[in-house]
Amino acid sequence: MSALSINAERLLNRIRALGEIGRDSDGRLTRLAASDADKAGRDRLVQWLREAELEVVVDRIGNIFGIWRDAGNAENAPVLVGSHIDTVIDAGIYDGCYGVLSGLEVIQTLREAGTAPAHPIAVAAFTNEEGVRYAPDMMGSLVYAGGLSVDQALATVGTDGSVLGEELRRIGYAGADGPGFSKPHAYVELHVEQGPVLEREGVPIGAVENLQGISWQRVTIEGVANHAGTTPMSMRSDAGHAAARVIAFLYDRAMTSNTPTVATVGCIAFEPNAINVIPSRATFTVDLRDPDAERLRAEEAALASYLHDLAAAEDMTIATERLARFEPVTFDARIVGLIEEAATMRGLASKRMTSGAGHDAQMVARVAPAAMIFVPSVGGISHNPREYTTDGDLVAGANVLLDVVQRLAAD
Residues in binding site for Zn(2+): 84, 95, 130, 191, 383
Distance from C-alpha of 125 to C-alpha of 141, rounded to nearest angstrom: 9
Q: Where are the alpha helices (DSSP H) in 52-177?
A: 97-112, 139-144, 150-154, 164-171
Strand, coil or helix: 205: strand
Distance from C-alpha of 102 to C-alpha of 376, rounded to nearest angstrom: 15
Distance from C-alpha of 356 to C-alpha of 261, rounded to nearest angstrom: 10
Q: Where are the alpha helices (DSSP H) in 173-238?
A: 197-201
The secondary structure of 271-319, three-state, reads ECCCCCECCCEEEEEEEEEECCHHHHHHHHHHHHHHHHHHHHHHCCEEE
On the question of a cis peptide bond just before residue 196, with omega within 30 degrees of 0, the verdict is no
Q: Which of 152, 102, 99 is nearest to 129 (CA)?
A: 99
> What is the crossing angle of helices 8-18 and 36-51, to 10°?
160
Q: Which of 119, 35, 89 is nearest to 407 (CA)?
A: 119
Distance from C-alpha of 31 to C-alpha of 86, rounded to nearest angstrom: 5
Distance from C-alpha of 135 to C-alpha of 90, rounded to nearest angstrom: 19
Residues comprising the binding site? 84, 95, 130, 191, 383
Residues in a beta bridge with 157: 163
Rounded alpha-carbon distances, angstroms, from residue 324 to 45, 52, 155, 227? 30, 37, 17, 37
